[in-house]
Structure 1
């Protein structure tokens, strides 16, 4: 779900927490070695996201935050902040040619450049965490 998170709205915060869980406590963040990605350069995006990004002339960048049950992909357009909230069961990540990672949720997608070791290390951490927390049987759902 694509949300405008520019303002402190309790209803939007409740929706995000229900979808991907509350933020990790500080102790867990330190244990994981951080939960946020470096700055990611957006190379391509779905129509809804592209329409937001072309509204200004700033660099198209985003970041990803890992949550207990999913991720939040955040970006800015004009003076507004947007979040693409993706639970793990809807998250699909592809590694394409020329160090491009594609992050999908339903009909939304963002393709980002992974030109540094830090970005590749983050995606490895994200995929490992997703695999570790995936349900092992139908009863776990």
Structure 2
């Protein structure tokens, strides 16, 4: 789900919480060693996301927040903040050539440059957490 999260909206907040879970508590964040990614540079993306990013002339950057049942990939365009909400069972991550990670959810995708050790460590943490917390059967959803 791609959504504009610039403004407070209780219905949208409920959809996000139902999809990827509530934010981690401070104790859980400390235990995980942080839940946010460093600044990520977007190299390419799907048409819907690309249309939003092309509205301004800023660098195309994003960040990822870990949640108990998924991730939230946030980026800015003009003065608005957009989020791609991805539950773990729909998340596909590929590591390609030339230090690029690709994040897919259905027909949305974002390709991110992974030129620092911190980015690679974050993606490892994200994939390890996904492996430990992805439902193994339909009843677990």
Tell whether the structures are fold-level matches, with TM greater than 0.5: yes
Whole-angstrom CA distance in 1 between matches of 2:127 and 2:110:
16
Task: Give ranges in structure 1 of 5+ residues lacking alignment.
Answer: none
Name the SS for the 1:42 alignment partner: strand
- Within-5 A mapping of 1:1-141: 1-141=1-141
In the alignment of these two chains, the number of paired residues is 141
- With normalisation by structure 1, the TM-score equals 0.97
Q: How has the CA–CA distance of structure 1 residues 9 and 101 changed in structure 2, closer, same or farther, with 3 Å as cutoff?
A: same
Q: Considering only aligned residues, what root-mean-square deviation do their CA atoms show, in Å? A: 0.9
Task: Give ranges in structure 2 of 5+ residues lacking alignment.
Answer: none
Regions of 4+ moved over 4 Å? none
**1:49 CA displacement:** 0.2
Residue by residue, what CA displacement relative to the aligned partner does 1:109-133 show, whole Å, maximum 9, x if unpaired?
Answer: 0000000000000000000000011
- With normalisation by structure 2, the TM-score equals 0.97
Whole-angstrom CA distance in 1 between matches of 2:110 and 2:134:
23
Residue by residue, what CA displacement relative to the aligned partner does 1:60-106 show, whole Å, maximum 9, x if unpaired?
Answer: 00000000000000000000000000000000000000110000000
